[in-house]
Structure 1
Amino acid sequence: MRRRTTIVTAAMLAASGFAFAAPASADLDTRCIGTAGAVTVPGDLFVPAGRSCDLTGTTIQGDVRVQAGADLLITGGTIEGAVTVQQDGYFDAVETAVGGAVTLRAGFGAYLESSEFAGNVRSVTVDGAAVEGFLISDGSAVGGNLDARTGDLFAESSTVGGNLIADGTVYADVFDVVVEGNLTVRNGNEYGSVVCGSEVYGNGTFSANTGALQIGAATPLAECDATSYWNRSVTVTGNTGGVTIDQNIIRNNLTATGNDPVAAVGSDNRVRGEIIGDTTPLRGSMTGVRALRATADRDAAALADAETRRTDAEAAAAQAGPAAL
């Protein structure tokens, strides 16, 4: 990865609204194995392949690299630069502020709880990677895009300042999330997608998905008693896993074309514009009970994977002892 100069990093952080100081030395590159507390790392930090680093209250004034198979846990800390996670690496941030982008490159996963991210948070695949991974945002604020291009996406009680994108993911579940830009779910999602109790101030687009889509509604994939709000249009096209649309306020048009089966639209929608395309009235189905159980299981499984990896990383870091930061 090309390392940033001090000038570029400071400018990007200032543009993101982070009033961080510039690194004392951009040439410093600190290795982290083990545990550390409320210290300041004046340059970049990296976790070597296969090793674990557990930080509490630590400030990192540069970029962070989590190498292949490595783990970085940070609680109550600050990362002024960007975070890059390589294949099968794991990033766990709780009550932490990150000034740059977070990028998972076929990582095992990222668990982001009650944290703030000034830039984009993105998961991508790489050629030949065996790991699809997960991206979990729980009560976090993402200033840029939340963008998943592989694996599982689960966002809950979070805010996204840019766009929320699930493109080629295994599934995408969005509960109680505010999206200032567009929300897009497309090209895959074989295990389906749920959008429940959320606010989207751009457009909503659901296209070319093979799994079931639940846009609002109370079934079939998840229990949802909260209305979703769409400030612009919602477009649902070319999906083959079934679509249910209910309990939504859509300020512009609802367009549903080329879906097989035809999209089912419930009576609890309020569409301020037009309903365009082919739809059918939403009716209850017992198949939803099975789908509901599967959805609860998959979200729980992603959280369990994060908990297991975190626990293993904590143990490995503790065994390694204090990190030489």
Structure 2
Amino acid sequence: MRYRKIALTAAAAGLMAVGFAAPSQAALTTFCDGVAADVTVPGDLVVAAGKSCELTNVVVNGNVTVRADANLLLDGATVNGNVRVLSNGFADVVGTSVTGTTTLSAAYGTYAEDSTLGNNVTATDSGFFYSVGTDHARSVTSTNGETFIESGWVTRNLATTGDTLTDVYDTVIEGTYSVTGAEQGGVLCLSEIDGDASFSGNGEILQIGASAPLTGCGYNAFGGNLSITDNSADVYVSDNVIRGDFNVSGNTGTVVAENNRVRGEDNSGAAASAAARSRSAVPSDVAADRKAEAKADAEARSEVASDAAEAAGPAFS
């Protein structure tokens, strides 16, 4: 296995690692620009602005920072600390464990697959957070981004505000679920929400369960209340199990609410009656297309990052 350019430097001002001390007692920060495998980083890891770092089977005993316009690809890695992705930075995390928080701040985005994120995930003003087959040990929160979670598990809450969209498939949320002000709305399919769920102020389309307009969707199980209020989106909510109350009110688009099993109070009847008089045509591939676009964006950035890391040149011959 060839190693690429990995620079271990004594920490400069503002870049002090706390987890490792050399004999001189100077802490170390590792700057990564290139490719490496099967190594242990003793302290913090930094991908400098505009650089690309690809690590396989690597242990980082510290925090990870992906600076502006930088890229980090982790495969089979362990991060014993936090991960921060900064302005237009990108992280691709596959088969990896992160014990600390994952934070996106105006990032291009983060893609996580078959990984464990051991603390809160917080994305602010970032392109996307796309998660597949990943366990989230605490909450996932997004503001002004895009959120996709598929075949995952969230131990606490999922909350998005001002996202372009929030789409969740085949996922368990042990806490509450909240989607507010999503420009393109959201899709929730084949999932379990143990706490209360709310959708408010969203546009374009909301599909919660239901077999149409998006095909391949299916019923959800809600352990608490389900509230769908004050949306301009066309709303399709069908074939769900709702153990709490079901509230549908104040929506201005088409509303289809039918065949839901509600154990609490159900006030969706008036909305369903109005929907029977006016159903708008929504393309069945809208949600599928935007999901494919987000994944394609992540794959394209990952490919560019991998090429850049490879081109950085070998660190050792």
Secondary structure of 1:137's match?
Answer: strand
User: Deviation of residue 237 (structure 1)?
Assistant: 1.1
Q: Distance in 1 between matches of 2:67 and 2:217?
A: 42
**Given the superposition, is the C-alpha separation of residues 47 and 3 from structure 1 closer, same or farther in structure 2, using an over 3 Å criterion?**
closer
1:309 equivalenced with 2:301 (yes/no)? yes
**Given the superposition, is the C-alpha separation of residues 3 and 197 from structure 1 closer, same or farther in structure 2, using an over 3 Å criterion?**
farther
Corresponding residue of 2:136: 142
**Is the 2:96–2:114 Cα contact (8 Å) retained in structure 1?**
yes
Corresponding residue of 1:24: 20
**Is the 1:237–1:256 Cα contact (8 Å) retained in structure 2?**
yes
**Is the 1:252–1:274 Cα contact (8 Å) retained in structure 2?**
yes
User: Deviation of residue 211 (structure 1)?
Assistant: 2.4
Corresponding residue of 1:276: 267
Corresponding residue of 1:320: 312
What's the CA shift string for 1:164-207, capped at 9, x where partnerless? 112110011100010011010002x2222100000001110101
Q: Distance in 1 between matches of 2:120 and 2:47?
A: 21
Larger radius of gyration: 2
Corresponding residue of 1:204: 197
User: Deviation of residue 293 (structure 1)?
Assistant: 1.9
**Given the superposition, is the C-alpha separation of residues 208 and 318 from structure 1 closer, same or farther in structure 2, using an over 3 Å criterion?**
same
**Given the superposition, is the C-alpha separation of residues 3 and 246 from structure 1 closer, same or farther in structure 2, using an over 3 Å criterion?**
farther
User: Deviation of residue 110 (structure 1)?
Assistant: 0.4
Q: Distance in 2 between matches of 1:137 and 1:165?
A: 15
Q: How does 1:213-228 map to 2 (within 5 A)?
A: 213-220=206-213, 222-228=214-220
- Report the identity percentage: 38
Secondary structure of 1:297's match?
Answer: helix
What's the CA shift string for 1:217-237, capped at 9, x where partnerless? 1122x2244320000100111
**Given the superposition, is the C-alpha separation of residues 4 and 240 from structure 1 closer, same or farther in structure 2, using an over 3 Å criterion?**
farther
**Is the 2:147–2:167 Cα contact (8 Å) retained in structure 1?**
yes
Report the RMSD for the aligned CA atoms in angstroms: 2.1
Secondary structure of 1:311's match?
Answer: helix
Q: Distance in 2 between matches of 1:5 and 1:29?
A: 6
Q: Structure 1 stretches of 5 or more lacking a match?
A: 7-22, 126-131
User: Deviation of residue 319 (structure 1)?
Assistant: 0.6
How many positions carry a matched residue from both structures? 297
- Structure 1 stretches of 4+ with a deviation exceeding 2 A read 2-6, 23-27, 261-264, 281-286, 321-324
Q: Structure 2 stretches of 5 or more lacking a match?
A: 1-13
Q: Distance in 2 between matches of 1:161 and 1:307?
A: 27
Q: Which residue identity does 2:262 align to in structure 1?
A: V
**Given the superposition, is the C-alpha separation of residues 107 and 95 from structure 1 closer, same or farther in structure 2, using an over 3 Å criterion?**
same
Secondary structure of 1:279's match?
Answer: helix
**Is the 2:16–2:27 Cα contact (8 Å) retained in structure 1?**
no
User: Deviation of residue 256 (structure 1)?
Assistant: 1.2
Q: Distance in 2 between matches of 1:271 and 1:49?
A: 52
Q: Distance in 1 between matches of 2:147 and 2:121?
A: 12
Secondary structure of 1:165's match?
Answer: strand
What's the CA shift string for 1:109-141, capped at 9, x where partnerless? 10000000110112102xxxxxx4111000000
Q: Distance in 2 between matches of 1:244 and 1:158?
A: 23
Q: Distance in 1 between matches of 2:17 and 2:308?
A: 33
Deviates further, 162-171 or 51-60: 162-171
Corresponding residue of 1:47: 47
**Is the 1:95–1:115 Cα contact (8 Å) retained in structure 2?**
yes
Q: Distance in 1 between matches of 2:195 and 2:16?
A: 32
Q: Which residue identity does 1:207 align to in structure 2?
A: S
Which of 134, 145, 151 aligns to 2:145? It is 151
What's the CA shift string for 1:98-119, capped at 9, x where partnerless? 0111111111110000000110
Corresponding residue of 2:106: 106
Corresponding residue of 1:17: none
